[in-house]
Structure 1
Amino acid sequence: MSAQPPVELVLPFTGRWIVQNSPASRVPSHGTELFGSSHAIDFVPVDANGRSAPRSLGSVFGTEPPDAFVGFGRAILAPLSGEVVRVHDGEVDHVARRSMGAQLGYALTQRSRIRGGAPAIAGNHIVICSDGAVVLLAHLRAGSVRPRPGDRVDAGDAIGECGNSGNSTEPHLHVQVSDSIERNGRGVALAFLRAGAPAWVPRNGEIVVV
């Protein structure tokens, strides 16, 4: 578990998002410390009813196209100012898997993705470095990544779009701070800034509206 003070970030999106796999609910948040993910958090775009996509036969028995989800293609913003030190784009946005059967089959292939390293796990992603903090934004939409390594970005700049690439069962954004995104990376605590209140880490099931 990280002993460092939390790295404070701005929320990297607008709209309505539900929280999953939050370090406010457990650490390691994703059930592992691999790839610096011990304090990572996931945000899933949802509609006014709290749904990421309408229910369909695919959501019950099979798979669904990523563009059926309300947040697919939604803008992702830089959560802090800093230098872009790593960019990966070109991974496909695969089908979404909300049904139990599709999720079980996907879980059985998890080891092969771990062997594939950061691109197989994070999919299309951007890494921003600021004052030693290494911030990863993962599962971006194929072809949407804007910055290039060496570019300077400011907090709030549009840097990509929400996608379903990498280790992802539906379109969402994975955010983490760590010393590295390689297999042996160590996670660092994070917190998000909000107007008129202390920085916080939203818990699982909390809906964040920006």
Structure 2
Amino acid sequence: MIDAREPIIVRSPLRGEWHSPNTPGTKIPSHGTNKLGSRYAYDFIQVDWERKGWPAYRVSLAQYLLFGVPLDEYYCWGQEVYAPCDGIIVKAEDGYKERTRTKLLSDMSNAYKNAHYFDPKKDDIQSIAGNYIIIECGDNVYAGLVHLQTGSIQVSVGQNVKKGDVIGRVGHSGNSFAPHLHFQLMDSSDIATANGLPFAFEQYELFKNGTWEKVNNGIPTNKDRIRF
């Protein structure tokens, strides 16, 4: 499929330094599927750039593999999430419980099950999305912010938001390997049936050759160290 549509420009829903392990800047579909509006979706985590492998958690690799990691040991868990566009809240689903820690094998099993057996006609979309917000940004353009921290959503359906308003916090709810923000644009407010839309970020900085360089209307890759 040829992607002929020009990317929509939005503001980042995050602040500070981030890494995107799954991004349309590296491959399309970015998550290996066009389902659930995720063709051009980004995942964002925070990592320790000085440690080997850029871990997203403070503990050792051995603890991660053997015992899992409590959510508050992840750098990005609880970070504020901001509205990426002016718009109206059309969905705001909270109350889906997060697992208290990551566990590699059970999280992988859960992800496999959801990827292969999720049925949008009968299964609850929150089993995939967890706590999530959908903002109508324009005609047939909807922003989905997914896997939010339980109890963190600060907006309600029908509320108008401005670009940059705090709307929630990064979490680990739903189909999530580790705390992160999953962010996508769609042509529908129904995640189960939506098509993904391409988009870029109006401004960020890229760490390159020891300095920060400004990027306008850019799409980061999975190798980039970026700062919003």
Question: Could you state the TM-score of these two structures normalised by the residue count of structure 1?
Answer: 0.90
SS state of the match for residue 102, structure 2?
Answer: coil
Shift of 1:5: 2.0
Give the greater-gyration-radius structure (CA).
2
SS state of the match for residue 109, structure 1?
Answer: helix
SS state of the match for residue 73, structure 1?
Answer: coil
Deviates more, 1:55-64 or 1:38-47: 55-64
Deviates more, 1:165-174 or 1:114-123: 114-123
SS state of the match for residue 204, structure 1?
Answer: coil
Matches within 5 A, 1:110-189: 110=114, 111-113=116-118, 116-132=123-139, 133-180=141-188, 181-189=190-198
Residue 21 of structure 2 corresponds to residue 20 of structure 1: yes
Indicate if the aligned counterparts of 1:114 and 1:120 stay in contact, CA closer than 8 A. Answer: no
Which of 41, 57, 65 is equivalent to 1:53? Answer: 57
Indicate if the aligned counterparts of 1:63 and 1:102 stay in contact, CA closer than 8 A. Answer: no
| 1:58–1:108 distance in 2 versus 1, CA, 3 Å | farther
Which of 184, 190, 194 is equivalent to 2:203? Answer: 194
| 1:23–1:134 distance in 2 versus 1, CA, 3 Å | same
| 1:56–1:114 distance in 2 versus 1, CA, 3 Å | farther
Q: Structure 2: how far apart are the matches of 1:179 and 1:187? A: 7
Q: What runs of 5+ residues in structure 2 fail to find an aligned partner?
A: 205-213
* Structure 1 residue runs of 4 or more that deviate by more than 6 Å after TM superposition: none
Indicate if the aligned counterparts of 2:14 and 2:82 stay in contact, CA closer than 8 A. Answer: yes
Aligned to 2:38: 37
| 1:129–1:5 distance in 2 versus 1, CA, 3 Å | same
Residue 8 of structure 2 corresponds to residue 7 of structure 1: yes
Shift of 1:47: 4.0
Deviates more, 1:113-122 or 1:181-190: 113-122
SS state of the match for residue 194, structure 1?
Answer: strand
Q: How many residues align?
A: 208
- Deviations along 1:115-159, whole A, 9 cap, x unmatched? 534311111111111222100011110000001011111111110
Indicate if the aligned counterparts of 1:46 and 1:52 stay in contact, CA closer than 8 A. Answer: yes
| 1:103–1:144 distance in 2 versus 1, CA, 3 Å | closer
Deviates more, 1:109-118 or 1:29-38: 109-118
Percent identity between matched residues is: 31
| 1:148–1:103 distance in 2 versus 1, CA, 3 Å | closer
Shift of 1:112: 4.8
One-letter code aligned to 1:185: A
Higher relative contact order by CA 8 Å / sep ≥ 6: 1 or 2?
Answer: 1
